[in-house]
Amino acid sequence: MGKFNHLDAKTIELAGISASIAGGCLSCLNYHFKKALEIGCTVEQASEAIELGKMIKQKPVSDIFEKAEKLIQNTIDNNLN
């Protein structure tokens, strides 16, 4: 981990868990989850990192669903006029 001068190992692995969820990388999640526990992260910390990753991943999905609904509604509104 020589690349990181200001982040400790636990922070890096917890970020790795979140990034794995957000990026949809199962092998990455398996690696970072195992590594996080090995270096002393708690299951609760890993769980919060997972929740953060889910929130990050869900945002663009929510945005696209919202946009799709607006496209439908705008089309309906325009056809009624």
Instruction: For residue 65, tell me if it sits in a domain.
Output: yes
Which range marks the domain in which residue 72 is found? 9-80
Instruction: For residue 1, tell me if it sits in a domain.
Output: no
Number of domains forming the structure of the chain: 1
The whole-angstrom separation of Cα 2 and Cα 4 is 6
Q: Considering the chain, what is the average pLDDT of its residues?
A: 94
pTM score: 0.80
* The predicted structure's pLDDT at residue 67: 94
Give per-residue pLDDT as tens, 5-17. Answer: 999 999 999 999 9
Instruction: For residue 4, tell me if it sits in a domain.
Output: no
Mean pLDDT of 37-56: 98
